[in-house]
Amino acid sequence: MPYLFLPHTQLQALLDAISQAGFAIIGPQVREGAIVYDWLNTAEQLPWGMQDVQSPGEYRLRATKEKLAFAWANGPQAIKPQLFKPTESLWEVTRDEQGRLAFQEKKPETQATALFAVKACDIRAMLIQDKVFIDSDHPDAHYTARRKNVLIVAANCTYSPANCFCVSAGGYPRAEAHFDIAMTEITHGLVMQAGSATGESIVNTLSLASATDAQIKQAQQGIEHAANSQSKKLPLPNDGPLRDMLFNHLDHPRWDDVAQRCLSCGNCTSVCPTCFCSNVESKTALEGQHSEQVREWGSCFTQQHSYIVGKVIRPDTKTRYRQWLTHKVGSWHEQFDSSGCVGCGRCITWCPVGIDITEELTAIHQEEKA
Ligand code: SF4
Ligand code: SF4
């Protein structure tokens, strides 16, 4: 489909068209000093004139001179919580007065939802989670139902804060596929492109003019700027060499070094758009007549995560951090045929002590070269 131009003044019309097509909309907005995704009803809720400044262990918003809606890169959440819920009831059991038990599966939600202003790295992360939750021997009914009913409106990045490294991780700040509509913001509006029949039918209701060559060029330059300004890098390609380097250094002294700094808090696993571990807890009513089985996000940084038949097999921070990193960019390849890192930089930003995945990998690689 050709590139079209949507003036900022028509963003509300786009949201209305998405809504009229039957989708509830979840999109970016500022809340408590961060950009988060939540129900979006009006274009006024978008993070106008806001940009995120990030460094290891630091995130803040600053006002920009130009009043743009998508001048930011990301916040603590990806779209993961919209598809793989942080907490979710899976089934319940009730005891009646005769003592008989009735088991009932909790049905997944089927509300059609548009995820608005999704970043390219988060689309890549979603495709990785699709492999975990859909392309498995036991597909997850809840994730699958939500994923089937989702419309993706991508917002290409024209800005990279200091922790982004999607290019080095094998991606790019532009969504290349798997979107229904893609937008790149330029002065006064957005260069748009439909990526599916549904996206095209929504865009067609707006009677937009074609984008001019100058507008397409400005959009392209914005994306290139985001790519070229990324300074963080993985020390080796993310499609195999990094994995081999790590597995050759399971006893490297750097694991002891990082364990001195890591708090085992699990923030990195919560914000990572590809981490998928979970626990199922029984929430039993005090009167003993009802129990609900609730799935909650887990983390490989907890003691419980590696408890196997009377023994915690990763009893300290060193073995937990090593497990996280060697899985993320190492054994993930064997399991899912790709790396588990898309280079969004969230684990660096939201680590309370600023541990930087690229620095840790580089340190191990440097000593290998020495
Ligand atoms: S490991 Fe860190 S940089 Fe990589 S995808 Fe997860 S949060 Fe993003
Ligand atoms: S690396 Fe940072 S965010 Fe992750 S568990 Fe350690 S201290 Fe927490």
pLDDT at position 368: 61
Ligand 2 neighbourhood includes 266 CB (under 6 angstroms): yes
- pTM of the predicted model as reported, rounded to 2 decimal places: 0.95
Stretch 223-227: mean pLDDT, rounded?
98
Ligand 1 neighbourhood includes 78 CB (under 6 angstroms): no
Q: Report the residue among 79, 157, 274 best suited for mutation to probe ligand 1: largest number of ligand atoms under 8 A from its CB.
A: 274
pLDDT per position as a tens digit, 12-33:
999 999 999 999 999 999 999 9
Burial environment of residue 104 by CB neighbours within 10 A (0 to 12, 13 to 18, 19 or more) = exposed
Stretch 121-139: mean pLDDT, rounded?
96
Do 134 and 140 meet the contact criterion of CB atoms below 8 Å apart?
yes
Apex CA 77: angle with CA 10 and CA 199, to 5°?
35
Query: Which atom of ligand 1 is nearest to 345's Cα?
Result: 3
Sheet holding 290-297, edge to edge: 101-105, 87-95, 290-297, 278-284
Distance 344 CA to ligand 1 centre (A): 5
Break the chain down into helix, strand, coil percent, rounded to 5: 35, 25, 40
Stretch 42-59: mean pLDDT, rounded?
98
User: Alpha-carbon distance 25 to 168, whole Å?
Assistant: 32
198 confidence band (pLDDT: 50, 70, 90): very high
pLDDT at position 110: 83
Within 167-230, residue ranges assigned H as helices are 197-204, 213-228
Ligand number nearest to the C-alpha of 272: 1
Query: Which atom of ligand 2 is nearest to 350's Cα?
Result: 3
pLDDT per position as a tens digit, 248-283:
999 999 999 999 999 999 999 999 999 999 999 999
Do 104 and 93 meet the contact criterion of CB atoms below 8 Å apart?
yes
Paired tokens of 181: 């509509």
pLDDT at position 181: 98
Cα-only R_g, the chain: 22
- Residue 135 DSSP class: S
Of all residues in the chain, what percent carry a pLDDT higher than 70? 99
User: Alpha-carbon distance 277 to 300, whole Å?
Assistant: 7
Ligand 2 neighbourhood includes 353 CB (under 6 angstroms): yes
287 confidence band (pLDDT: 50, 70, 90): confident
pLDDT at position 370: 55
Lowest-pLDDT range, 26-35, 239-248, 294-303?
239-248
Ligand number nearest to the C-alpha of 332: 1
pLDDT at position 103: 96
b/e sequence 67-87, b meaning 16+ C-beta within 10 Å: ebbbbbbbbebbbbbbbbbee
User: Alpha-carbon distance 78 to 271, whole Å?
Assistant: 7
Ligand 2 neighbourhood includes 324 CB (under 6 angstroms): no
User: Alpha-carbon distance 18 to 21, whole Å?
Assistant: 5
pLDDT at position 211: 98
pLDDT per position as a tens digit, 322-352:
999 999 999 999 999 999 999 999 999 999 9
Protein residue with least CA distance to atom 8, ligand 1 = 344
Ligand 1 neighbourhood includes 272 CB (under 6 angstroms): yes
